[in-house]
Chains A and B, each alone.
Chain A
Amino acid sequence: MENPISIHCPDSLDDAVAILSARPGARILAGGTDLLVKHRNGMLPNLTDFVDISGLRLQEIERESDSIIIGSGCTMTALAQSPLVADRFPCLAQGAIQVGAFQIRNCATIGGNIANGSPAGDTIPAMFCLDAMVRIFGPESRRTIPIAEFFTGPGKTVLRQGEIIESFALPDRRTFGVFFKLGERRAHAISKVSISVSCFESGQGRREFRIALGAVGPTVLRCRKAEELMTAAGWPPPSADLVDKASRLVMDASRPIDDIRSLKDYRKKMTGVLFIRAIDRLNARSYQLNNSGEE
């Protein structure tokens, strides 16, 4: 019989970090929808302790000077139901509502989705588009890292043992955005390709764009060339040709592979298709009037 696994339910960040630092085999447990499945599948051979962080009061969504702070313990349901998120960050609300099914969303947290580091994580493209900063609490100090520098590979992040994502800070501005994903079915499907397109008004007839792709690279990818083209062109986009050109830049930015869920060529093509759909959606008048997203 292997060593029994222990579980800890600390009620302060300091205690949680102390346990994590003292026990190299300890893992943070939030909603458990990734971690407990891995455990069940025998993928955590070195696990010695679970550190449950649901008691750390990390579930708030609040305004703090120029930022909206989203606690890492916010569930997908809480994000999808937050009026603040719906108003400011529609692409994030749409990403959250497309995770798993209701039972999963009631427990899956955004901190877990980000820390898990899957290139197919459905809140990650939106967090790239929203210029999220990851606020980390560690044994020595706090540090803050831009989301684009947080991921180092599939399932890999800059987090060190003992560090906990406390929250995410997003610039407090009203964005227009969409998140689309392609999966095998509507519920419980890991994305084969996903895209988040988001923009905010930066002047009269001008919008600054962000475009991020999921499941077509080792990490979520930003499409900076396409962003620059769209931003420079002004809003609404002057021609279908321009959007087409941007869609080719989006495809160029993708770095998909063949795997059990999909094929490289199909994935690449679909990034362009989804991009054009996203621009159509943003351009639809009905959508601008009711920027809540029902996808």
Chain B
Amino acid sequence: MPLLFGQIRKGVEMPKQETIRITFSLNGKLVETQVQPVLTLLEMLRRNFSLTATKEGCGKGECGACTLLFNGFPLNSCLKLAATLRPTDSVVTLEGLENDPLMGRLQKAYVDEGAVQCGFCIPGMVISSYHLLKHHPNPSSAQIKEALSGNLCRCTGYSKIEQAVVRAAREK
């Protein structure tokens, strides 16, 4: 794995700190990179790996725009330090689910239901929706609301998002 550190911010001076070498599984492949001590998992994915589906909304655990799957569970990547990753840890971002049939169905349902407006919350929304449908293929309305309660959306008013999850569950 070539080091991509600094690629995105070419020419920008990064504060000089000791860096730490980490190894972990990213979207199914074992990767290695070099990180500063307080770099978040979110920032690392965007800077070191150019994986920009995962977004930063609040940076404080409130909005869920940075949701990804960590060891199989949805997690706010803005509240995880990259330096704490271990070789046994697995990180799956939206990019890693590009060819996943369930994710494909969810994305189509979101578009068909008009559940996407500005789109900023959507990568996190679909990851949470994906985890829900993986474990509860026919969720109740309450289960959908509960599963998405950590994902905020400023645009849609949520009901179309809920309908999109229902639709994706129906259209197997």
Residues of A within 8 A of B (CB): 1, 4-7, 9, 29, 31-33, 36-37, 39-41, 50, 52, 54-55, 77, 100-104, 106-107, 186-188
CB–CB A39/B38 < 8 A: yes
User: Which residues on the B side are within 8 Å of A107 (C-beta)?
Assistant: 70, 75-76, 79-80
User: Which residues on the B side are within 8 Å of A39 (C-beta)?
Assistant: 38
User: Which residues on the A side are within 8 Å of B76 (C-beta)?
Assistant: 103-104, 107
User: Which residues on the A side are within 8 Å of B67 (C-beta)?
Assistant: 103
How many of chain B's residues touch chain A, expressed as a range? 20 to 34
- Residue of A36, A50, A187 near B150 (CB, 8 A) is A187
Per-residue CB proximity of B9-30 to A under 8 Å, as 1/0?
Answer: 0000001111010000000000
CB–CB A37/B60 < 8 A: yes
Residue of B nearest to A54 (CB): B84
Bound complex: CA of A1 vs CA of B114, how far in Å? 47
CB–CB A103/B18 < 8 A: no
CB–CB B15/A4 < 8 A: yes
CB–CB B60/A101 < 8 A: no
- A102-B74 contact given A33-B61, A40-B59, CB 8 Å threshold: yes
Taking the complex as formed, is B51 at the interface, i.e. its CB lies under 8 A from any CB of chain A? no
- Residue of B40, B83, B146, B150 near A103 (CB, 8 A) is B150
Residue of A nearest to B89 (CB): A54
CB–CB B81/A52 < 8 A: yes
CB–CB B38/A7 < 8 A: yes
CB–CB B61/A50 < 8 A: no
Task: Report B142 CB to chain A, min CB distance, Å.
Answer: 10
Bound complex: CA of A54 vs CA of B86, how far in Å? 10
User: Which residues on the A side are within 8 Å of B150 (C-beta)?
Assistant: 100-104, 187-188
Residue of B nearest to A49 (CB): B37
Bound complex: CA of A6 vs CA of B151, how far in Å? 31
Task: Report A28 CB to chain B, min CB distance, Å.
Answer: 12
Residue of B16, B64, B70, B76 with most chain A CB atoms under a 10 A cut-off: B76
Taking the complex as formed, is B62 at the interface, i.e. its CB lies under 8 A from any CB of chain A? yes
CB–CB B84/A7 < 8 A: yes
CB–CB B83/A55 < 8 A: no
CB–CB B17/A4 < 8 A: yes
Task: Report A125 CB to chain B, min CB distance, Å.
Answer: 22
* Known interface pairs A5-B38, A103-B75; 12 further A-B residue pairs with C-beta atoms within 8 A, sorted by A's residue number: A7-B20, A29-B81, A32-B80, A33-B61, A37-B60, A37-B79, A39-B38, A50-B37, A106-B70, A106-B73, A186-B149, A188-B150
CB–CB A187/B60 < 8 A: no
Task: Report A84 CB to chain B, min CB distance, Å.
Answer: 20
User: Secondary structure at chain A's binding surface: helix, strand, loop or mixed?
Assistant: loop
User: Which residues on the B side are within 8 Å of A101 (C-beta)?
Assistant: 64, 149-151
Bound complex: CA of A40 vs CA of B40, how far in Å? 11
Bound complex: CA of A188 vs CA of B57, how far in Å? 15
CB–CB A6/B37 < 8 A: yes
Among all A-B residue pairs, the 4 with the closest Cβ atoms: A101-B150, A187-B149, A4-B17, A7-B37
CB–CB B84/A52 < 8 A: yes
CB–CB A7/B74 < 8 A: no
User: Which residues on the A side are within 8 Å of B147 (C-beta)?
Assistant: 102
Q: List 14 A-B contacts (CB under 8 A).
A: A4-B16, A36-B40, A36-B79, A37-B60, A37-B79, A50-B81, A52-B81, A54-B84, A101-B64, A101-B149, A102-B128, A104-B61, A187-B146, A188-B150
Bound complex: CA of A40 vs CA of B59, how far in Å? 8
CB–CB B61/A37 < 8 A: yes
User: Which residues on the A side are within 8 Å of B61 (C-beta)?
Assistant: 33, 37, 100, 103-104
Residue of A nearest to B20 (CB): A7
Per-residue CB proximity of B40-71 to A under 8 Å, as 1/0?
Answer: 10000000000000000001111010010010
User: Which residues on the A side are within 8 Å of B40 (C-beta)?
Assistant: 36
Task: Report A107 CB to chain B, min CB distance, Å.
Answer: 6
Residue of B nearest to A2 (CB): B15
User: Which residues on the A side are within 8 Å of B59 (C-beta)?
Assistant: 40
